[in-house]
Chains A and B, each alone.
Chain A
Amino acid sequence: MIKQLSQRLLGPVTLILLALTLWLGLWVTPSFKVQGNLARLVYVHPAVAWVAIYVSFGTATIASALYLWRRTRSMLVDRIAHCAMEVSVVFIILTLITGSIWGRPAWGVWWAWDARLTSTAVLGVFALAYLALRRANDDPELRARRSAVLALLAAVNVPIIQFSVQWWKTLHQGATVFSTDHGLKIHGLQAWTLLISFLGFTMLYFWLLRARYRLEVLRDERYRASLEEALVQRRREGVR
């Protein structure tokens, strides 16, 4: 019952949190000292990036690792990995778009070959490569195994993105929320709005993942039905 309730509430709660983010971010919170209203993108871009790189890609990576380990191998974890990676592509694209919108006035260019931007774009290409690999293989087990390996290889990129602003001189700013001594860099209503945005976009991710997963389950059911049909047809060949 709790599961059903939480599933029913997921959509409305997500919408409420995102609406709150929008209202607080655009109208209620004060503008920023240096970048003015442009910096209101802080209530979207970091949250979207967080979901893209850690939540969504992280889910796909963990599910892939679980698939490769015999004890936890199942088509369920493969489905989760696939769906999470698809949602990851969407969020990575949103990260790059919101980042570009922010970067154009701040840096004067839509795109720079900056370490963080480049490594994030590379992650996006990995995610697309994952989907291409899945389409190239019809056999479910073969497809699951190969894409799981690719997801693990791609995950190597995540720490590179995380530490890119420290390892290289980059245009991209450093940590948005925490300073190097783990103190908060953002306070008051702005901090709360940022927190709500992170929650909202994370819930959005789970909402999209659930919807995508249900579609995948239906697809698998249709595949199983077609297999049954194919078996019957095949056996009839033997009878004739």
Chain B
Amino acid sequence: MGSSSPVVALRDAVVLLSGFPLLSGVNLELEPGSLSVVTGANGAGKTSLLRLLGGLVTLSSGSGVVSGIDLRTGDLRELRRRVGWLGHEGSFYDDLSTHENLVFAAKALERPIIEIPSVLERVGLAGRAATPARKLSAGQRRRLGLAWLLLRRPEIWLLDEPYASLDDEGRTFFDQLVGDVVSAGATVVLTAHDPLRSSALAPRTLTLAGGLIVEDRS
């Protein structure tokens, strides 16, 4: 499936923050168009792994290539353009409305603004277009983040605890969306505390502990 080389290849990847090893030697390969779930306890390094894959933190030692870009010597700005990030903190400007946030993203990416209404419809926020982002509920903010990604259509989707704050309907919608995205050829990596739920979708589950991958189930 897909191209012959992996979209992610990490060897003994170490990421440090103020002298503390967030990741302490991760070895990982991901194929393009795959879906992987990263699980583990709090502080295991799940978010740090996603941030490394997105070029949002630098590699302190080891080697890594993501989407053909070397994490030590390559153009990380170019890598960031190829990934989509959905964090658990909220991904946009609180003082702008839902619609205005998406207009900003669309203009930044030179995407047609005309796509925004259909994207909002898809994520169930059509009725919240004029609502300032700070007034959205946690689940709605999550959906806005997904809308942002749908506009972007990146090669690699990095989703940090996307199930948090979603109700059952939201989770079903999300599963469907991720399935569509993977079918379209994107690579999706998401973190979750609940491996059972996510394993319904994902053929591959990676368990992190102490900044290392301690289990890899396909």
Interface residues of A (CB under 8 A from B): 138-139, 141, 223, 226-227, 230-231, 234-240
Count of A-B contacts with CB under 8 A? 43
B19 to A239, Cβ gap below 8 A? Answer: no
Q: Which 5 A-B pairs have the closest CB atoms?
A: A237-B210, A238-B210, A138-B18, A238-B212, A238-B209
Q: Contact: A231 with B17, CB < 8 Å?
A: no
User: Which B residues are CB-close (under 8 A) to A239?
Assistant: 210, 214
Contacts of B17 in A (CB 8 A): 139
Contact A230 B214, CB 8 Å, known A235-B25, A237-B209 = no
**Is the pair B18, A238 in contact by a Cβ cutoff of 8 Å?**
no
B138 CB–A CB distance under 8 Å? no
- Given A231-B21, A238-B208, 8 other A-B residues pairs in contact with their CB atoms under 8 A: A138-B18, A226-B19, A227-B19, A230-B20, A234-B20, A235-B211, A238-B209, A239-B214
Cβ of A226: which chain B residues have Cβ within 8 Å of it? 19
Closest to B207 in A: A238
| Dominant secondary structure at the B interface | strand
Q: Which residue of A lies closest to B57 (CB)?
A: A139
21 A-B pairs, CB-CB below 8 angstroms? Answer: A138-B19, A139-B17, A141-B58, A227-B21, A231-B21, A231-B24, A231-B25, A234-B21, A234-B210, A234-B211, A235-B24, A235-B210, A235-B211, A235-B212, A236-B210, A238-B24, A238-B208, A238-B209, A238-B211, A239-B210, A239-B214
Q: Number of residues in B with C-beta < 8 Å to the partner?
A: 16
The answer, among A139, A237, A238, A240, for a CB contact under 8 Å with B16, is A139
Contact with A along B189-218 (1 / 0, CB 8 A): 000000000000000000011111010000
Kindly identify which residue among A138, A141, A230, A240 contacts B21, using a CB–CB cutoff of 8 Å: A230
With both chains docked as a complex, state the minimum distance between the C-beta of A225 and any C-beta of chain B, in angstroms. 11
- Nearest B residue to A226, CB-CB: B19
Choose among B24, B58, B214 the residue that contacts A234 (Cβ–Cβ < 8 A): B24
Is B120 in contact with chain A by the CB < 8 A criterion?
no
Bound-state CA distance A141–B21 (Å) is: 15
Min C-beta distance of A46 to chain B, whole Å: 43
Which residues does chain A contribute within 8 Å of B18, judged by CB atoms? 138-139
> In angstroms, how far is the closest chain A Cβ from the Cβ of B199?
21
Residue-wise interface mask of B (5-22) relative to A, using a CB-CB cutoff of 8 A (1 in contact, 0 not): 000000000101111110
Known A141-B58, A231-B14, A231-B24; contact A223-B211, beta-carbon cutoff 8 A? no
* Chain A nearest Cβ from B163, distance in angstroms: 24
> Roughly how many angstroms separate A130 CA and B24 CA in the complex, as a whole number?
32
Task: Assess A223 versus B210: contact at CB under 8 Å? Given A234-B24, A235-B24, A235-B25.
Answer: no
Q: Which residues of A contact B21 (CB under 8 A)?
A: 227, 230-231, 234
Residues of B within 8 A of A138 (CB): 18-19
The answer to whether A223 touches B209, judged by C-beta atoms less than 8 angstroms apart, is no
User: In the complex, what residues of A have CB within 8 A of residue B212's CB?
Assistant: 235, 238
Report yes or no: A223 in contact with B19, Cβ–Cβ below 8 A: yes
